């Protein structure tokens, strides 16, 4: 800037530029410009200004599940603009400066080996219907779509929560991508035949599975090839370690927090955070009080910020996003009770001397970077064919699974009659003799 010419070495010592008040004023102006804001600007205003220009992309919201549980997916019976039975409605999303939301398509683990695919399709359908029915929403599937979303719209994206939704079928996984799904969690609270969950003794499915099996690695590779983001929330440490070693693209934890701050099995240990940094992936911090404070009675915005600070120390600010888990978790911190409250968290990060650039990364830029790199891996893999790997059918047989084979046809006989045919003939002749 021209005014900073007073700091040039020549001007500093020669001629009228040696005027001390002017030099001090120049230094002060440079300092204010470097800090970005004067001391008289409240942090709350600074947070709102940042969120207006960099609207939040939240990684995980379970509203579709609540719509099923409370309203049987009958959208005609609810008004999502003012819905008051959930933490989420359109008015609150707008107040919270949410620019994009990954809606979670979650099917309970009890559906594994039963009707998980049908239920997943129904949940995808309700998300698409929801986002088509309200002018405030717009479905998107690419980073270009995300970056071009108008300020008066909230972008809708779909993420599947739990690999049991594919029923061990890469074909089903590919069809989900065609329907608009852009991330999938490898597990929920149950093991699948190919991936181990972080939750122990919650379900009895496939207890011998450890980490990722060979087929599990094929799932990761196929997601890379398609351009679907790999979500490691709910996975065991062994599964996360294996996925990070296998994936060519950055991964996400869509709703997790730091294990070193709260040693909950759902949280991410420092070892994995360091691997995540090398992978260039991100962890989107959850607001679930259970995972934030490990049973402490009072959980505040400061508690959430503690997780941000720790992850920043271990993996860097570029490895962090927000994945609130509204509608999925049972309770939330004081001051973050619903989706309108995000600005309070951003204000707390600014209070802790997070820079504007770091905060913009948390709000959206870090997720956009991951998404772009996932799309780039898809483009680089365009010459690869669809994977035809599968788990041997005999290892998956259960009462709800049909092994499709060509029907065995019995050849029609034109020779001697069968015993059944002879029996029918004898009975018929006997009846004829008796009545005649």
Q: Is 307 a catalytic residue?
A: no
Report the alpha-carbon distance of residue 235 to residue 206 in Å, rounded.
Answer: 14
Report the alpha-carbon distance of residue 161 to residue 119 in Å, rounded.
Answer: 12
List b or e across 387-397, with b for residues whose CB sees 16 or more CB atoms inside 10 angstroms: beeebeeeeee
Of the residues 97, 164, 203, 234, only one is catalytic, namely 234
- Check the CA dihedral 176-177-178-179 and report its sign: positive
With CA atoms as reference, report the closest residue to 159 among 115, 223, 216, 238.
223
Q: Is 327 a catalytic residue?
A: no
Burial of 7 (0-12, 13-18, 19+ CB in 10 A): middle
Q: How far is CA 130 from the centre of its chain?
A: 18
Of the residues 97, 164, 203, 255, only one is catalytic, namely 255
CB distance 199 to 164 below 8 Å: no
Of the residues 167, 231, 325, 338, only one is catalytic, namely 325
Report the alpha-carbon distance of residue 73 to residue 88 in Å, rounded.
Answer: 16
Q: What is the DSSP string of 273-327?
A: HHHHHHHT-EEEE---HHHHHTT-S--BHHHHHHHHHHHHHHH-GGGEEE---BT
Of the residues 97, 164, 188, 203, only one is catalytic, namely 188
Of the residues 58, 161, 327, 347, only one is catalytic, namely 161
Q: Is 164 a catalytic residue?
A: no
Regarding beta strands 320-322 and 282-285, do their DSSP bridges make them parallel or antiparallel, or are they unpaired? Answer: parallel
Give the up-direction half-sphere exposure of residue 360: CA atoms within 13 A in the CB hemisphere: 11
Q: Is 234 a catalytic residue?
A: yes
Q: What is the DSSP string of 218-248?
A: HHHHHHHHHTPEEE-TTB-HHHHHHHHHH-S
Of the residues 58, 60, 97, 222, only one is catalytic, namely 60
Q: Is 115 a catalytic residue?
A: no
Q: Is 161 a catalytic residue?
A: yes
CB distance 219 to 186 below 8 Å: yes
Q: Is 231 a catalytic residue?
A: no
Burial of 257 (0-12, 13-18, 19+ CB in 10 A): buried
Neighbours of 133 (CB within 10 A): 11
CB distance 87 to 326 below 8 Å: yes
Q: Which residue has the tokens 């196929």?
A: 222
Neighbours of 434 (CB within 10 A): 7
CB distance 179 to 203 below 8 Å: no
Catalytic residues: 60, 62, 161, 188, 234, 255, 325
């Amino acid at each position: 800037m021209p005014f900073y010419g007073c700091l040039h070495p020549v001007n500093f010592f020669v001629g009228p530029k040696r005027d001390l008040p002017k030099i001090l004023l120049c230094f002060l102006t440079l300092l204010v410009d470097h800090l970005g804001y004067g001391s008289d600007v409240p942090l709350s205003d600074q947070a709102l200004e940042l969120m207006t220009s960099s609207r939040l992309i939240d990684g995980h919201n379970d509203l579709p599940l609540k719509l099923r549980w409370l309203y049987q997916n009958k959208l005609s019976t609810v008004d999502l603009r003012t819905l008051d039975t959930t933490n989420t409605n359109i008015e609150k999303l707008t107040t919270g400066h949410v620019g994009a939301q990954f809606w979670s398509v979650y099917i309970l683990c009890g559906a594994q080996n039963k009707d998980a695919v049908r239920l997943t399709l129904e949940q995808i359908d309700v998300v698409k219907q929801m986002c088509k029915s309200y002018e405030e929403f717009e479905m998107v599937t690419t980073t270009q779509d995300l970056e071009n979303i108008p300020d008066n719209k909230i972008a809708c994206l779909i993420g599947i929560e739990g690999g049991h939704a594919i029923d061990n079928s890469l074909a089903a996984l590919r069809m989900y991508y065609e329907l608009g799904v852009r991330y999938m969690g490898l597990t929920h609270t149950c093991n699948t035949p190919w991936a181990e969950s972080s939750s122990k003794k919650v379900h009895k499915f496939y207890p011998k599975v450890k980490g990722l099996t060979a087929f599990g690695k094929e799932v990761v590779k196929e997601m890379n090839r398609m351009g679907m983001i790999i979500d490691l929330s709910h996975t065991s440490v062994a599964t996360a370690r294996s996925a990070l070693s296998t994936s060519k693209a950055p991964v996400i934890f869509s709703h997790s927090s730091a294990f070193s701050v709260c040693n909950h099995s759902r949280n991410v240990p420092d070892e994995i955070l360091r691997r995540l940094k090398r992978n260039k992936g991100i962890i989107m911090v959850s607001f679930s009080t259970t995972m934030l404070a490990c049973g402490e009675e009072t959980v505040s915005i400061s508690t959430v910020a503690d997780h941000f600070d720790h992850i920043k120390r271990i993996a860097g600010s570029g490895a962090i996003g927000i994945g609130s888990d509204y509608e999925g978790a049972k309770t939330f911190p004081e001051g973050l009770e619903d989706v309108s409250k995000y600005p309070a968290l951003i204000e707390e990060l600014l209070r802790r001397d997070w820079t504007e650039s770091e905060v913009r990364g948390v709000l959206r830029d870090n997720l956009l970077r991951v998404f772009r790199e996932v799309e780039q891996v898809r483009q680089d893999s365009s010459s690869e064919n669809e994977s035809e790997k599968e788990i041997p059918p005999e290892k998956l047989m259960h009462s709800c699974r049909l092994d499709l084979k060509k029907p065995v046809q019995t050849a029609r006989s034109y020779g001697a009659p069968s015993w059944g045919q002879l029996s029918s003939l004898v009975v018929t002749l006997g009846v004829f003799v008796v009545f005649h």
